[in-house]
Amino acid sequence: MKRIFWLGVGVVTGVALSRKATETARQASPAGLASNVGEAIRELAGAVGTFGADVRAGMSEREQELSDIVEERSRVVTPVARRSPRPAAADGRHAAPAPRPRRARRAEG
């Protein structure tokens, strides 16, 4: 009975080590390395895209804060303050361009 038990343990250990060695060899092959590099580049591209979106959101928020301060101090409505926020669906690379704000005419005097 002991011999059958140890034979089973040996077979299971051999199969597990064989699978582990095969997986390690596949990862060390050129195709495995290319797969790992591809995944890393995709992950990096996603992180860069997320960072860019966060920066653009922060810039927009700060621009709105600054225009509110200018409007409050000078009582002049800035073009950013008049612009209504665009819906989220229209935001993006292929969104229609926002209309240009018109400049105020100079007072003649």
Average pLDDT over residues 62-75: 90
Kindly state whether residue 97 falls inside one of the protein's structural domains: no
Residue whose token pair is 């509110």: 68
Domain that holds residue 70: 12-85
Kindly state whether residue 61 falls inside one of the protein's structural domains: yes
Q: What is the overall mean pLDDT for the chain? A: 82
Q: What is the pLDDT of residues 24-40, one digit of tens each?
A: 888 888 888 888 899 99
Reported in sequence order, the residue ranges of the chain that DSSP labels E, i.e. its strands, are none
Residues 15/9, Cβ–Cβ less than 8 Å? no
The total number of structural domains in the chain stands at 1
Kindly state whether residue 2 falls inside one of the protein's structural domains: no
- To the nearest whole percent, how much of the chain has pLDDT over 90? 44
Residue 89 scores a pLDDT above 90: no
Kindly state whether residue 98 falls inside one of the protein's structural domains: no
Tell me the pTM: 0.45
Kindly state whether residue 7 falls inside one of the protein's structural domains: no
Kindly state whether residue 106 falls inside one of the protein's structural domains: no
Cα–Cα distance measured from residue 39 to residue 36, given in angstroms and rounded to the nearest whole number: 5
Kindly state whether residue 28 falls inside one of the protein's structural domains: yes
Q: And the tokens for 31?
A: 């195709």
pLDDT of residue 83: 52
